[in-house]
């Protein structure tokens, strides 16, 4: 990755550097490495934020779809308690469907 490439470039530079210049070179390289690490962290943070926003949008889409379908208890909300309630409702619906499917199988 980016850090490995930088590390190898730094090693090469150190080998052809005059000994009295080495501390200066190392200090410069340290700053460069820190800048790269900072950039990697920043990109990771932006990716994480993008994923969170996309997940939030999926929740809103789901709430909206279920509300339009007339499923009671579903409406657009970001309130954690209400979200938990909606998730429990979904789980209940899923379990009821499973039981229904098993009952149909038993009678067929």
pLDDT digits (tens, 9 = 90+) for 54-69: 999 999 999 999 999 9
HSE value, Cβ hemisphere, 13 Å, CA-based, for 76 = 8
Contacts of 64 (CB under 8 A, 6+ apart): 76
CB 10 within 8 A of CB 33: yes
DSSP state of 31: H
Which residue's entry shows tokens 């850090």?
3
Q: What mean pLDDT comes out for the span 27-34?
A: 95
Mean pLDDT of the chain: 93
Over 90: is that where the pLDDT of 86 sits? yes
Q: How much of the chain exceeds pLDDT 90, in percent?
A: 82
pLDDT band at 31 (very low <50, low <70, confident <90, very high): very high
pLDDT for 1 equals 87
Task: Determine the Cα–Cα distance for residues 66 and 68; give it in Å rounded to an integer.
Answer: 5
Contacts of 59 (CB under 8 A, 6+ apart): 83
pLDDT band at 107 (very low <50, low <70, confident <90, very high): confident
């Amino acid at each position: 990755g980016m850090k490995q490439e930088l590390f190898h470039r730094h090693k090469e530079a150190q080998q052809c550097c005059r000994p009295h210049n080495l501390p200066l070179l190392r200090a410069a390289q340290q700053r460069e490495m820190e800048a790269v690490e900072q950039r990697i962290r920043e990109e990771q943070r932006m990716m994480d934020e993008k994923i969170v926003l996309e997940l939030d949008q999926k929740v809103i889409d789901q709430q909206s779809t279920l509300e339009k379908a007339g499923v009671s208890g579903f409406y657009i909300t970001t309130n954690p308690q209400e979200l938990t309630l909606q998730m429990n409702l979904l789980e209940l619906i899923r379990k009821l469907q499973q039981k229904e499917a098993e009952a149909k199988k038993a009678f067929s």
